[in-house]
Amino acid sequence: MDGAWGEGRATLSDANLAESYGVRIEQIVGANWRATVVRHLSAFENQGGARVLVAAYVGTQRAADPRLRIGWTFAGRRPDEAIVPRSLNLLDGLGHGYVTLRPDHTLTVWLDGDGVSDRVTGLHTRHPAELTPTGEPFNTPGAHSFYIRFERVEPSVTALQLSAEAEVLARLARLEAAMDTLAGGWREKKGT
């Protein structure tokens, strides 16, 4: 489903076509980049690769913002292991950019450089071999790829944001009450 989030549009479950591979979409409150499609590539599409292909769209047009990069990290990454965001400069093919999947990595991927993005987690190549329609093994362990489509949306106020704001206001009210109590005790000691 290549639709955007919102009324009458794609839902989180519609977007994640790779859930059976352990891939998850972390929907970030207030994000302006939504993961609208996440899917595992077929053997024909993959051709033995091990990549996460990423595309970024504003409406039906490819995102043209040169600040956009593919942000990524992997589980168990040490502080001394540098991560370089990848560009979205591919001209042909399914994705606009990619991150290579190493056999020992489980990646988390997002868009970086223009606001906040959903995160796609659990991307790895340690899946069993799959067969082509002719019965040949393909998409073997170490050779699995995924496609993620991000779409630019206008951030909206959600129930989670409202509840977070209500929690902050409640904490402020408790803090003010505690300060009044302390100030009252101080005034009594000073005799004012």
| DSSP, res 3 | P
Mapping DSSP onto H, E and C, the string for 43-106 reads HHHHCCCCEEEEEEEECCEECCCCCCEEEEEECCCCCCCCCCCEECCCCCCCCCEEEECCCCCC
Contact by Cβ (8 Å): 103, 11: no
Distances (CA, A) of 130 to 44, 140, 149: 11, 6, 24
Rounded to whole angstroms, the Cα distance separating 39 from 87 reads 20
Rounded to whole angstroms, the Cα distance separating 146 from 109 reads 11
Question: In this structure, what token pair is assigned to residue 117?
Answer: 């993005």
* pLDDT per residue as tens, the chain (192 positions): 333 333 333 445 568 889 998 999 999 988 999 999 999 998 888 888 899 999 999 999 999 899 999 999 999 999 999 999 999 988 777 789 999 999 999 999 999 999 999 999 999 998 888 877 788 877 878 888 999 999 999 866 554 555 566 667 767 777 777 777 776 655 556 565
pTM check: above 0.75: no
Rounded to whole angstroms, the Cα distance separating 112 from 46 reads 25
Q: CB within 8 A of 183, min separation 6: which ones?
A: none
